[in-house]
Structure 1
Amino acid sequence: MSATISPCPPNAPRRPSYAAVLRVPHARRTFTAALAARLSYGTVSLAVLLSVTRATGSYAASGAVMAVFGASAVFLMPLRAALVDRYGPRRTLFPMAALYGALLCVLAALTWRPGASPVVLAAAAALTGACAPPLGPAMRAVWAELVDDRRLLQRAYSMDGVAEELLYVSGPALVGVLLRFGPPAAGVLLSAVLMVTGTRAFVTSPAMSGTGHPKPGAARRGRRLPAGLLRPVVAAAGLGLALSGVELLVLAFAAQRSYGDAVVPWILGALSAGSAVGGLLNGAVEWRAPARVRLPWLLVGLGLALSAAGLARGPWTLAAVMACTGAFVAPTLTTAYLLADETAQEGARTRAGAWVNAAVNAGTSVGSVAAGLLVGQLPLGLCFVLAGAVAAGSAAVAVAAPR
């Protein structure tokens, strides 16, 4: 992918809409199939967590299994994405999805009844995560192939990001419904079915007809982060670090003030709602400043809003501040993906998006550990300020990163 921004075609609308994104040839079918497959990622975490807990009777074991599952999925993602760039999505994504689905079935079989060995479960989870297809980066690479107008691409990325966030909200709810009719392992099987069938529909879309040519060198470069991607990757990691402790901080806020756990979902829901609204507004705005300029300012705004959460005195005040914080989340991530696409080398779009995706998840994992150590040791208001400072500090690091 060249760093040059494609000019708008002469017949492009002055203000392209979200409906115009779905009118792009083959976009609706491809996007729907990708969402069906990515819903698997929305259901699998809770399903595996509950299944392992039920099978072992140990929260420590379930936490360890989820840690190795997440680590293998996140840290090997750039390498898997490089394989997609090298050999094409049609040759790589479905074999990954089939193997991932088969290993999920193994996990479901191991956890169907109590008594499973935590060591065996951890090994199976590590293998499963290592095969997880990079569907998000692959879909964004397809958007970049389908859409020439950079303004329309911004709307496509915003719509994609908001839809993905909704999948992570609806996925656990779907597992909750399934638990009324079967054991948690049934949710693991559902995740396997969604992944295999959705990926099959995705790779057979006509939009994939021109994306299957090998790109020499992409797989060899997959292990190293290109210098041009430092700014979006640092920003994404800072976003993950800053937001990683929010759930724990909100839970501690409710406990300290004796509001009860019932207010926690509403407060976290306000964060998700704010992110969805912010993402849609970000995609609709005709930005004059380029993505590399907007990205640090979005992080600063997120940091200030998150710091202000430490001043909240009641649950509804905190929910309002969380909604304001969320308004910066999806725009920050969307802008990071846009910048990664602009700076990606030719034939390396999937890998570029995968580096950003991996950075967010890695930041979330590391930050969750740090938040667990700090909550209870420091005043809660200071914890919110520190989380905001992480976002603002990552903005400064991103600005200093080489272009």
Structure 2
Amino acid sequence: MVRQPWALRTFAAATVGRFSYGIVFLSLMVALSQATGSYAWAGTAVACFGLSSSFLAPLRARLLDRRGPRRVLPVMATVYAALLAALTVATWGPGAPPWTLLVLTLAAGACAPPLGPVMRVLWSDLMPDEELRQRAFSLDTVVEELLYVFGPLVAGLFIAFGHPALGVGVSAVLVLTGTLALVASPLLRRRASPAATGEPGTEPVSDGGAADDRPETGSGQGPATDGGARGWAGLLAPVVVTGGVGMALGALELLVVAFTEAHDRVAAVAWIQAALSVGSAIGGMAYGARKWRLPSRQRLFLSAFVLSVVLAAAGAVSDLYVLVVVVGCIGLFVAPALSTAYLVADECATEETRIQAGTWVNSAFNAGSSGGTTTAGLLLGQLSLPACFVVAAVPALASTATALVRPRQAARPATATKTAPAAADTPAPDAR
């Protein structure tokens, strides 16, 4: 995969930019709490940061699809980095007005560049074969998982040295550097949005999912596989499943805390969370290395189903060390479920909605995670802890019911319209 022309350089640039998101949340939380002297203000500001980032992500992705990443990403990254730099200065010491910090965090979240969805579109361009694309998406998901493991550790170093705001500043540098390096990549320079370029001979595809007459390549540019529809109708399965998986994992995070408190071993939370991440990394790499006969949609439902069953079984665990193992087993299905969801979304997307498709999947997971944590907090006061584990598995299990929904493939028009291939949509060979 990384041996493809410019693939390693492009992926490295995107990884540098995305590492910013692994560092910024913890750094921002501690910096805001020290600057305002209030955990309530800090929590509210970070919540605004996350909410504006998640809920506006589809709008940012739509802008990228319409105008092209090369035009939009540098502007987003520059504004986002500037806002983080302003937060770094404002939180370096106490005394900053809380309302100012709240507005800055809200604005920063609204401008966060969606580097992950853009990188997955580039993987799709590089890997026309579904098997190779599945491996690329698995690698991408595992690396993203690791970024959110090591990011808080790096933020912890800045906090330990007494300058949590420095982590916010480093996040600004990382996202700006990574984004500009990504935009400078030949893969992105040679890929242009048809909607932005207005190339003659390119027939736009409506959001309603009408099929076009381009050859089926399996890279998101041909008809969707597995009988699913192209366009927004085909996104039902990956969005619903990732939302359900997100809710299950968000609930698990809080339930693990409650479990360790009940056993007077709160410090073990870190080990349990590490087991989840390690399991996800192992599962993702093993999943990507295997050649699968099952269609991608069926693999998506199967991963979510097994994850929910193992999570429900965790309710019967009473020993802390056994829970570490069980949570690690849950993690085995996290990266496969997410990477397959991105694959299905890419297969269903039209050329004009590819970044939006991946962003909707990502936003569904983040929103589901937040909702799952909130729901678990409400349930812990009403149900026993084992029952809460079972209830936490319900969203992921229920999401597999979308397997019963078979969106109808839109009919092709009676008169075929030939579409000239867009040269800018195919990465050119290495010109070095």
**Superposition TM-score, scaled by structure 2 size:** 0.85
Tell whether 2:313 aligns with 1:305: no
2:311–2:390: 8 Å Cα contact kept in structure 1? yes
Aligned to 2:263: 257
SS in 2 for 1:289: coil
Structure 1 residues 48-59: aligned runs within 5 Å: 48-59=28-39
Residue 298 of structure 1: how far off its partner (Å): 1.1
Query: In the aligned structure 1, how far is the partner of 2:341 from the partner of 2:250?
Result: 18
**Gaps in structure 1 of 5+ consecutive residues:** 1-20
Q: Cα distance 1:373–1:401, how it changes in 2: closer, same or farther (>3 A)?
A: farther
**Matched length:** 379
Tell whether 2:242 aligns with 1:236: yes
Residue 221 of structure 1: how far off its partner (Å): 6.3
Aligned to 2:376: 371
Tell whether 2:135 aligns with 1:189: no
Residue 61 of structure 1: how far off its partner (Å): 1.2
1:95 to 44, 63, 75: 75
Q: Cα distance 1:401–1:124, how it changes in 2: closer, same or farther (>3 A)?
A: farther
- Matched letter for residue 401 of structure 2: A
1:89–1:203: 8 Å Cα contact kept in structure 2? yes
Query: In the aligned structure 2, how far is the partner of 1:401 from the partner of 1:261?
Result: 45
Tell whether 2:130 aligns with 1:124: no
Residue 398 of structure 1: how far off its partner (Å): 5.1
SS in 2 for 1:402: coil
Structure 1 residues 3-402: aligned runs within 5 Å: 21-215=1-195, 226-258=232-264, 260-397=265-402, 399-400=404-405, 402=407
Query: In the aligned structure 1, how far is the partner of 2:162 from the partner of 2:142?
Result: 30
* Regions of 4+ moved over 3 Å: none
SS in 2 for 1:266: helix
1:158–1:331: 8 Å Cα contact kept in structure 2? yes
Larger Rg: 1 or 2?
2
Query: In the aligned structure 2, how far is the partner of 1:107 from the partner of 1:399?
Result: 48
Residue 250 of structure 1: how far off its partner (Å): 0.8
Q: Indicate the percent of aligned positions where both proteins have the same amino acid.
A: 51
Query: In the aligned structure 2, how far is the partner of 1:189 from the partner of 1:352?
Result: 31
> Higher helix fraction: Structure 1 or Structure 2?
1
**Superposition TM-score, scaled by structure 1 size:** 0.91
1:273–1:326: 8 Å Cα contact kept in structure 2? yes
Residue 214 of structure 1: how far off its partner (Å): 4.1
- Matched letter for residue 364 of structure 1: S
Query: In the aligned structure 2, how far is the partner of 1:257 from the partner of 1:182?
Result: 32
1:91–1:212: 8 Å Cα contact kept in structure 2? no
After superposition, the C-alpha distances for 1:6-42 in whole angstroms (9 at most, x for unaligned) are: xxxxxxxxxxxxxxx1111110000000000000000
Residue 114 of structure 1: how far off its partner (Å): 1.4
